[in-house]
Every structure is written in structure tokens, then in C-alpha cells.
Amino acid sequence: MDNENIIKEPFRSYALEEEKQTKFEVVSIKFNLEDYAELQQLKKLIEQPKDATAIKTLMKLGAQVVLEPKTKLILDTLTNNRRNNKRSGLTEF
């Protein structure tokens, strides 16, 4: 193939107009080494190589778990038990 026939296009934006108007909030996250290692394992589990996308995906999955009625009942029961035990002075089981 002859390189002289290649037509190079100048850079152009591929974002749609509505995407350009979307506002974003940038959040910095600092991980200790143990938490970062856990994130790396979770990224492999969900097959997502990018940190930011993996964190967003895990956040959405976590929200579904916490907001699901049966799971919410379990979490509420556990936190109520912990609060009641602390109020009663029970710290060991």
C-alpha cells in the first residue's frame, strides 16, 4: 500500500452536544495498600481493568445490595443488635 494515498483528518471532537453540557464532579480517593489490593482483586472479579469504572460499578452493585429489601432488613437487624448491645454494655459474645 502506498502511504501517499493516506488522508489524515485533523482532530475533531466526537462528543455529542448534550455530553458537552454534562457537568462532572471529580472525587479524589486515597487507598491504603490493603484496600487497594482488595480493589485490584475486585477489578479482576468484575473484569474491569480501569480503577474509576470499577469503583463506579462496585458502588452501583453495593447500592443495589444495601437497598434491596431483604438485605436492608438484615443490615438493619445487625446494626440494631450492635446498638442495643452497646447500650446494654455487652461488648463480647
pLDDT greater at residue 16 or residue 26 = 26
Please tell me which of 14-18, 49-53, 76-80 the model is most confident about, judged by mean pLDDT: 49-53
Residue-level pLDDT at 3: 62
pLDDT band at 5 (very low <50, low <70, confident <90, very high): confident
C-alpha cell read off for 47: 473484569
Torsion of CA 75, 78, 81, 87, to 10 degrees: -80
Tens digits of residue pLDDT in 25-57: 888 999 999 999 999 999 999 999 999 999 999
Q: What is the pTM of this model?
A: 0.56
